[in-house]
Structure 1
């Protein structure tokens, strides 16, 4: 049977892997072990795989690399292809989680600034699995959207692709693209680094920027300068140019700052692990059908009952105390502002402490559950119809 080297922080891996696979775990905060021979490797986005980072001993035996994440820009695909190493990913695994993050953050911003949902137009850059999920959820809530994805337009002539000059006239821009440094890839994808630059900010009318894709897609310095001069009202960042030690000044001025967790949910993690394990079994011709994972039995699912208890408390409030907006409900289900406050506090530390705290907030916080897992009391749903869209699949 094969040997699999895997990131120790990939949840439920042993459940989805054939019991006879020799599973060896490594610490992603350290280098890949140099004296391990393995047939397969499964990593997360925090581990870069290229000629410099892949140990020679491992390079000799490796036939399969997978990332338990939607993106692959931390993998040097041409290098792995040249070595004859098969690559797999969990594309689309966290699309719903990211869509919920964007929708929740945008609802917070709109309600806090008395912005009309129906009059707010959102420009979505990137319409792959995640961008499409964001578009679907935002339209379900009531937002108007403009879409931008030139490669998709080439594949689908009927796709309604908006040009950048139209897109930057939207009220909000949200990014869902991979980070591409070259002018044009063999697959036809164009450069995305600094897609949002000083020139587009100067020419645009948008008031809010959301980046939940990759650090570097947005020019942070240009965004920061525009915020200081008043040319941009706010920005919401979940990803950063210098992870895991982003620029403290950029963190401090963000309307919402989170440590690259937009795609994190218990359901997304289960999907990702299941997808890469299925790909591994298929590649090595291993016949294995794991038992369905009962989410009700997982420790994180205990939080569902805790959250539902808090929702019941809100629903049972007297009329005079009942919330005027859905914001307390949103923060109860998706506590992003508590996390933001802790990340902003960490920005006051030196770089090494910031790096440690950023990594800790990203990897050690309990995973949240997606909206559809919760039973929301009818009184809350009738008062705030936007929650219906968030809880329905």
Structure 2
């Protein structure tokens, strides 16, 4: 069995090599000729799986995407040709939530304005938006949720309008899928008019899709308003973001908010489980066995951490400043954007770090944030 896998998808050898030959490919340049003899195709969000790519293949048994979104996959074509498909919803939700939370902590320190006490508006209350809210609420931050689709579906959480978030939130974090038409269109949801209407000193964070913000308009507005602070992980025109916009962001990264080792492992593992189910094979591998031992065994502290100490703990797990600097130094290089994504293998989640303390109360919030081993 020929198993084609995106070269940036980790842990495919230990998970899939028993089932057939694992053949890596470049996700941006995959051709129909490469796919011609594939039995299994495993992709990430940068590969468009459509009729043009698959037309010459008559043996495909399964297509999997190790991502939450499916806008890069022609689901109707797969259904018409009876090709089973699975994605990995929620696989990197924790990673994105922690990335957004860490970015807020970093930005708070950089501009000398504490995160504690601010109001955060989350636009899009799906897996990643919910994970971001979980971190913020664990830390005691007031969160406003906006998601008209979830609200219409009867989600029991409390939702507000986007106008309310614009008026009340100090920080706006975007977590919507890209939708290009219809009532709830998200392409250029933040156009020039909405960007111009952001209240004074707003922090805007985008960890979903670059097209949700009109990037040209953002440059125009930001050049007039130094009070706006930007954290951008996604960009229009990826893998070639506008250099002028990179320069205007406080923190800039190449679409890696979900790129924790745990998140990547979950995505690959979920596809492994689905393929085993389709082939009636036992799923006898273990997710935890894939992950390397974390380089810090345990952190012990004597007093409950304040915001500065919390940021230090977060940096033990992931230091956003490093990726920001690497990105700025390399994104203009040939394939710089994708090379950094491919080589991004160091980031862990809060759960990798065990905490210990003596005779302290009121630190359950550290456990709720995701750190492991809280207590002693």
TM-score, scaled to structure 1: 0.83
Conserved? CA contact 1:120–1:144, under 8 Å = yes
Q: SS in structure 2 opposite 1:168?
A: helix
Is it true that 1:366 corresponds to 2:345 in the alignment? yes
What residue is the counterpart of 1:24 in the other structure?
A: 23
Pair 1:324–1:88, CA change in 2 (3 A): closer
Return the match for 2:140 from 134, 138, 142.
142
Residues 180-219 of structure 1: pairs in structure 2 closer than 5 A: 180-184=179-183, 190-205=184-199, 207-219=202-214
What residue is the counterpart of 2:99 in the other structure?
A: 101
Is it true that 1:281 corresponds to 2:276 in the alignment? yes
What residue is the counterpart of 2:255 in the other structure?
A: 260
Q: SS in structure 1 opposite 2:212?
A: coil
Q: SS in structure 1 opposite 2:256?
A: coil
Query: 1:278 Cα shift?
Result: 1.4
Pair 1:18–1:358, CA change in 2 (3 A): closer
Query: 1:192 Cα shift?
Result: 0.6
Query: 1:47 Cα shift?
Result: 1.4
Return the match for 2:240 from 238, 241, 245.
245
Pair 1:219–1:323, CA change in 2 (3 A): closer
What residue is the counterpart of 2:318 in the other structure?
A: 334
Alignment gaps of 5+ in structure 1: 185-189, 317-321
Runs of 4+ in 1 over 6 A off after TM superposition: none
- State the alpha-carbon separation in 2 of the partners of residues 29 and 155 from structure 1: 35
Query: 1:9 Cα shift?
Result: 2.8
- State the alpha-carbon separation in 1 of the partners of residues 155 and 45 from structure 2: 33
Alignment gaps of 5+ in structure 2: none
Query: 1:251 Cα shift?
Result: 0.8
Residues 342-353 of structure 1: pairs in structure 2 closer than 5 A: 342-347=326-331, 349=332, 353=333
- State the alpha-carbon separation in 2 of the partners of residues 158 and 332 from structure 1: 36
CA root-mean-square deviation: 2.9
Can you list the C-alpha shifts for 1:149-195, whole angstroms capped at 9, x where unaligned?
A: 111111116332211110112111111111111225xxxxx211011
Query: 1:367 Cα shift?
Result: 3.0
Conserved? CA contact 1:34–1:56, under 8 Å = no
What residue is the counterpart of 2:38 in the other structure?
A: 38
TM-score, scaled to structure 2: 0.87
Conserved? CA contact 1:122–1:143, under 8 Å = yes
